[in-house]
Chain A
Amino acid sequence: MEDRRSFIKKALAGCAAGGLMIPSGMARIDAPEEEHDHPAHWIEARHYEKIEEMKVKCTLCPRECSVADRERGYCGVRENRAGTYYTLVHSRPCSVHVDPVEKKPLYHFVPGHKSFSVATVGCNIECRFCQNWEISQFTPEQRPSYDLSPAKLAYNAARKGCKSIAYTYTEPVIFYEYMYDCAKEGKKRGVMSAMISNGYIREKPLRELIPVLDGVKIDLKAFTDDFYRDMCSGRLEPVLQTLKILKETGIWFEIVVLLIPSYNDSKKEIQELCAWVRDQLGANVPLHFTRFHPVYKVKDIPVTPESSLKRAYEIAKSKGLNFPYIGNVAGNEGAHTFCPHCGKKVITRFGFHVAKLDMREGNCAFCSKTLPGIWQPFKNEEDN
């Protein structure tokens, strides 16, 4: 029988080991207040160039911010201090949560598993319809954060039975160094990593990152540069470039398009987008069309009608894409996975819940044909 003293001792030791108590519910955890300006939080950025007069040029994303001393880049989380560029958010997530991987959404990435989901503040674009703008459009001083090292994060993910870590909610490219380090720590514990991103990243950092990742989801905001410029303060071409690199490297990736009525949901645009995906990336890339809800700076547009989502779904099918999906609509047939070979339903989903999985080790349970995706988590690196 354990006495009270040893019980307390063990409990404290558990906390010291980095045990964040992650509730299993869906609500985001309120992060505690903390001192933000301790130099220990500043980690030198991995992708930048020093230029004259103590200025730096960030080479992480296509924006390539030129940043003067004591200024920050567009993302708001990287600061130039006397000619050295720092990330201010390494080990400082503002949101930590356990989600079903379907919420990302990643539908061909070990379906039904729990994903340890993490975000810091900041983003390198500004979507006027951002669902998470209350963290993505703020700076480290403006939002409370945890102190959570990559090792502690990986420990917690494994302890919670999560098969993956998802870098999500905001834009993980802006916490690149933290994501990279967490992914490496995760591998040691047999936890995969998935980047849920806008794809706004330059080639060199992307290629360096891919080996530590296992899956990627890219938000393709639209298929016109005008939309990217007007609605996201970004550009389309770098995102398409990212998708091509993902295809080339062979890493598993899926694409999401948030359909905003009258902005990016025209028949012509969806046709062009689907044709490009088929021709450049292949017919087996899952393409999710999701429903928009009015938020942030776009509040005068109604939610996406289900008919628009269905039309996009049908266009994708007609263009030869094997795995189109409809998201953010409860009970829609477009949420399920159908085998492109025999046409049978192999994964039945309700919301983020996988209700039925008719697959055997990555093969259709009905026709035994292999379906594209990651169907089994990899083994612990330390076990090898």
Chain B
Amino acid sequence: MNGSPSEESEALHRRRFLMLMTGWSAVGLQGMHVACSPAGKKDAGNKADEPEAAGIKGAEDRAKPIVVQRLRPGIVKRGESLPKDQARVAMSELLGALAPGHDAIAFLKTVFEPGRKIGIKPNCLAGRGLSTRPELVFALVELLEEAGIRPSDVIVFERTERELARAGFPINTSKSGSGSLVMGNDSPGAGFENQPLLHESIGSCFCRILTRRIDALINFGVLKDHDLAGVSIGMKNLYGLIHNPNKYHDSGCAPYVAHVAASPAVRAKLKLTLCDGLIAQYKGGPALKPEYTWQAGALLASCDPVALDAAGTSLIEAARKEAGIETLEASGRYPAWLADARRCGLGEDRLDRITIKTI
């Protein structure tokens, strides 16, 4: 080491400076801090995850992470697509609410530098009807382009090409095109690392798209109940980055979900978590069970992956109550990995310590 700052930390300082100069609120700054410097957080088992307990002066005044939820109940019905212009407006409003001045482009510019490769990981397990909508993903790609990220620097990727195709994504594995690549971990040239990365309770080979082809990750899940994990919103979707997710479904997926998210491979690159809950499902997941869906019209965004999952879980709990069925909490299925994720320093799961900004 020669003592000179790395390119990454230089970029971070520049970002922070710009944020301060543009007069971001303290809340916004803290929100960004969560997203942009996750590697600086304390790891699992460290008591510093409880700032007050650790005796850090002023820790109780720390600003809360922000989750933006855009609620338009009934904006789409089951089986319908969101028109392209509406998708664009929805994503713009959603991301804009994470930034002062409601400027989605400014927000994206702050998080993602031009020339960097961005990966977007939708959740396509359930096929069309309960997967991340392509129209939202491509609206995001458009916004990224306006923020200086070329579409050809964006890779939309899922576990398999089949899952992407079933969710309505056009597969594009050609390097010659100008559009974004849309590919699976099973696409030619993709695959997984040859050796497992061991971290806490997990030991997995991560997909090479994550480890070798992208600099930053946007996790774009769906809002749904999950038989074993309790919910699948954001962090559970990260199971699609590892070769052996089937090994991590015991004990309600806890603490495995947290440990996948906290692994260095993910933590260094996950910058933004989004959730498509236009049609959401409060029971019977992860597969589509139309009888348990509701037209939530919800979109969520946060730089804090734990806070987003906690906020999303509260929406599912409310829907379960309204449907007259046991809450996840009452049925013993409340995701314990949320608290594990907090303990790993990934973010905040306690709702009273999260700012949920409804637009």
Contact = CB atoms under 8 A, between A and B. Distances in A.
Interface of A: 37, 53-55, 66, 68-76, 126, 128, 133, 137-139, 141-142, 233, 296-297
A205 B185 CA distance: 34
A71 B227 contact: yes
B244 A68 contact: no
Contacts of A74: 246-247, 249-250
Contacts of A141: 159-160, 186
Given A74-B247, A76-B244, A297-B203, A68 B192 contact: no
A54 B203 contact: no
Given A68-B228, A297-B203, A138 B243 contact: yes
A168 B86 CA distance: 55
A69 B125 CA distance: 11
A77 to B, nearest CB: 9
Interface string B279-300: 0000011110100000000000
11 contacts: A66-B227, A66-B228, A68-B226, A68-B285, A69-B289, A71-B249, A73-B246, A75-B246, A137-B243, A141-B159, A142-B192
Nearest to A65: B249
Interface in B206-253: 226-228, 243-244, 246-247, 249-250
B75 interface: no
A363 B250 CA distance: 50
B100 interface: no
Given A76-B244, A297-B203, 15 more contacts: A55-B227, A69-B284, A70-B125, A71-B249, A73-B246, A74-B250, A75-B246, A76-B247, A126-B244, A139-B244, A142-B243, A233-B247, A296-B196, A296-B203, A297-B198
Enumerate the 10 nearest inter-chain pairs by beta-carbon distance, A residue then B residue, closest first.
Answer: A68-B227, A69-B287, A70-B287, A76-B246, A297-B203, A141-B186, A37-B162, A72-B246, A141-B160, A137-B244
Given A68-B285, A70-B125, A70-B126, A138 B244 contact: yes
Q: Of residues A73, A76, A142, which shows the largest number of chain B Cβ atoms within 10 Å of its Cβ? A: A142
B159 A137 contact: no
B96 interface: no
A141 to B, nearest CB: 5
B244 A71 contact: no
Contacts of B185: 142
B282 to A, nearest CB: 13
B191 interface: yes
Given A141-B160, A297-B203, A70 B244 contact: no
A126 B284 CA distance: 28
A69 to B, nearest CB: 4
Interface string B233-277: 000000000011011011000000000000000000000000000
Contacts of A76: 244, 246-247
Contact of B203 (A66, A68, A70, A128): A128
